[in-house]
Amino acid sequence: MKTIFPTGVLAIILTVVFLSVPVGALAGDHAVQRAVLVTGASSGIGRNITERLAASGYFVYAGARKDKDLAELDGIDNVKSVRLDVTVQAEIDAAVAFIRKEGRGLYGVVNNAGVAVFSPMNETPEQDIDFVFDVNIYGPYRVNKAFAGLLVESKGRTTTIGSISGFISGANSGTYSMSKFAIEAYTDALAAEMADSGVLVSVVEPGGYKSRIREKVTIHRLGVDSTDAAMSDEQKKSLQQAIERNASLKEPDEVSDAVMRALFDDAPKLRYMVVPNEGEAELTIKTALGRAVQLNADQPYSYDREELVAMLDALLAEQAKPAESGAQ
């Protein structure tokens, strides 16, 4: 015997069922499922972010360069690969056209693609600096500029994977830190410029998490491919050490947590520092405070301790306001 519900009761049942479905879980409904572009999605932090977004019901356009990586990404539910080298404007433009044609719109961008070299500044070839800057600085600049129209339409979000190296630099890390320091300035400027459009901007600052960047640094330094059969025993040893070092680090799940907050919290922060241990947190904060102390010292308008503490208290109070306004 069929059970026939009154129209009002049926409407309530359907509403409850619909609301019980996570946002974005209706993979075929473009109006419901928010879409996010992740650059450098083939491995490491980018792959972790991609999988986290997809598992949470969001649709991910996963940027990668190699056919093998593109095929692997297409095998993940809620993911569609996009050939995207952030140093090639033609590929960026093609990605914009492709995503527009898809019809989902674009709610978020995660600028994750990144590279590094580590060497003394006076010995670093200029082409190595160009290599790092082209990906780490010009990459986010190109991608955000190209996708700005789609983000404005959705009043969406864009976040960049920076680094605590955007605050800390030292021997042999200058080139990488220079690129990440630049992202700090870029984020502040872009956030101010896009505020009126409704697009929110943030930067996530990871510490030492598991990522293939160390392996890639070694490959770049050696001038070989990881599958190169002609590698010498010494080259193989260097590469293996980088792989083992990476394997000992924490998975970047906490970085993905921060990205989710930056993309979907009601009141996201401008900056998210994410580190695997207290030591890295202390080093980063002390370095940032130390720079302020150095700026304040021995200049005509120096502030005394009491005035500095008052400034810090005011900044802490201001920072607490978004959290009290209902961020989730």
Could you tell me the maximum CA-CA distance found in the chain, to the nearest angstrom? 89
> What pLDDT score was predicted for residue 320?
83
Residue 108: CB atoms within 10 Å: 25
Q: Average pLDDT, whole number, for the chain? A: 86
Quick one: 29 exposed, middle or buried, by C-beta within 10 A (0-12, 13-18, 19+)? exposed
Q: How far apart are CA 324 and CA 26, in angstroms?
A: 32
Question: Is the pLDDT confidence value at 12 over 90?
Answer: no
> What pLDDT score was predicted for residue 223?
56
pLDDT in tens, 154-212: 999 999 999 999 999 999 999 999 999 999 999 999 999 999 999 999 999 999 998 76
Contact 50, 36 (CB under 8 A): no
Q: How far apart are CA 237 and CA 217, in angstroms?
A: 14
Residue ranges of domains in the chain: 21-211+249-294
The secondary structure element, H or E, covering residue 110 is: strand 108-111
The number of CA neighbours under 13 Å toward the Cβ of 294 is: 6
Pick the CATH number of 21-211+249-294 from 3.40.640.10, 3.90.1150.10, 1.10.10.10, 3.40.50.720: 3.40.50.720
**DSSP category for residue 56:** T
Name which of 97-101, 143-147, 169-173, 254-258 the model is least confident about.
169-173
Q: Which two tokens stand for residue 65?
A: 């360069």
Among residues of the chain, what percentage have pLDDT more than 70? 77
Q: How confident is the model at residue 272 (pLDDT cuts 50, 70, 90)?
A: very high
Q: Could you identify the residue written with the tokens 């297409």?
A: 74
Three-state helix/strand/coil letters over 24-92: CCCCCCCCCCCEEEECCCCCHHHHHHHHHHHHCCCEEEEEECCHHHHHHHHCCCCEEEEECCCCCHHHH
Three-state secondary-structure class, residue 300: coil
Residue 55: CB atoms within 10 Å: 12
Task: List alpha helices for 155-275, DSSP H.
Answer: 174-194, 213-222, 233-247, 253-264
Name which of 62-71, 84-93, 311-320 the model is least confident about.
311-320
Strand pairing class (200-206; 79-83) = unpaired
> What pLDDT score was predicted for residue 68?
97
> What pLDDT score was predicted for residue 159?
98
Question: Is the pLDDT confidence value at 4 over 90?
Answer: no
Three-state secondary-structure class, residue 201: strand
Q: How confident is the model at residue 289 (pLDDT cuts 50, 70, 90)?
A: very high
pLDDT in tens, 96-117: 999 999 999 999 999 999 999 9
